[in-house]
Structure 1
């Protein structure tokens, strides 16, 4: 006789939920990394623009060109501020997904432990049945020899 766990579909569901939570965490981490790379690029653009402003000032460039560069630098500052907020939101999202995954892993572990206990109980009962059958066969043999 084979062991069949009554709640196997629940165990499978919990496993699938954990897998989905892992995927969601992976996607959130990917989004966070993309936001961080984007922020780094904005910092590089700002540094390049500021150095360009500095070199244009040394070369005595036109006021219009300097204003244009300054407007762009100001625009980059606004973008950086917004991107920092997006990075923080992405970090919060990653933390939420980690917490969600931890909960799903714990839930799955509880169900797997229940299945394991049920399987051990089943194996113990099977061993008792086998032992009972062997005892019965030995009793019958003894009775047959005694006659």
Structure 2
């Protein structure tokens, strides 16, 4: 029996490869997002510690210069937190974009896999028909030979 060969198999393989690559890119983008979120969380924790320290210092009679220095550092942390929030937003957009591309790639792969499966089903049907015709021909020849 003849084996099935799909003429567009290279395209199916390419689409599968593209899907795998899109999965890797999404995974990478999710990792970057988690890192940005973690960094933002650490900055917020540090800001909270310094804010508490500022509150404690203001009650203890610490020199004004030290209070100003702490406040200046808090202002600097606030700017860093705002930049980090922007980084998180960009990382989230990247994840969304990668997720969308993966979804599109999966759809394309499914289209090609379905086309391949339909072609294979047609091939198998045609092979069964051919086999059945050969069997019918054998039966006819035997019948004619036995009738003589």
TM-score w.r.t. length of structure 2: 0.97
Offset of 1:135 from its aligned partner? 0.3
* Deviations 1:103-128, CA, capped at 9 Å, x for gaps: 10000000000000000000000000
1:62, distance to aligned residue in structure 2 (A): 1.3
- Report the secondary structure of 1:61's partner residue: coil
Mapped partners of 2:61, 2:134: distance in 1: 104
| 1:31-70 to 2 correspondences below 5 Å | 31-70=32-71
Corresponding position of 2:146: 145
Residue 92 of structure 1: aligned partner: 93
SS at match of 1:6: coil
Separation in structure 2 between the aligned mates of residue 92 and residue 69 of structure 1, nearest angstrom: 34
Aligned position for 1:127: 128
Residue 63 of structure 1 deviates from its aligned partner by 1.5
Unaligned runs of at least 5 residues, structure 2: none
Counterpart position of 1:21: 22
The separation in 1 between residues aligned to 2:79 and 2:45, in whole angstroms, is: 14
Question: How far is the alpha carbon of 1:40 from its aligned partner?
Answer: 0.7
The 4+ residue runs of structure 1 with deviation greater than 6 A are: none
Residue in structure 2 matched with residue 83 of structure 1 by the alignment: 84
Question: Following superposition of structure 1 onto structure 2, how do residues 101-120 of structure 1 map, counting pairs within 5 Å?
Answer: 101-120=102-121
1:27-51: CA deviation from partner (whole Å, max 9, x where unpaired): 0011111111111111101110000
Give the aligned CA root-mean-square deviation in angstroms: 0.6
| Alignment: residue pair count | 147
Distance (Å, rounded) in 2 between the aligned partners of 1:65 and 1:134? 100
Unpaired stretches in structure 1, ≥5 consecutive residues: none
How far apart, in 2, do the equivalents of 1:29 and 1:144 lie?
74
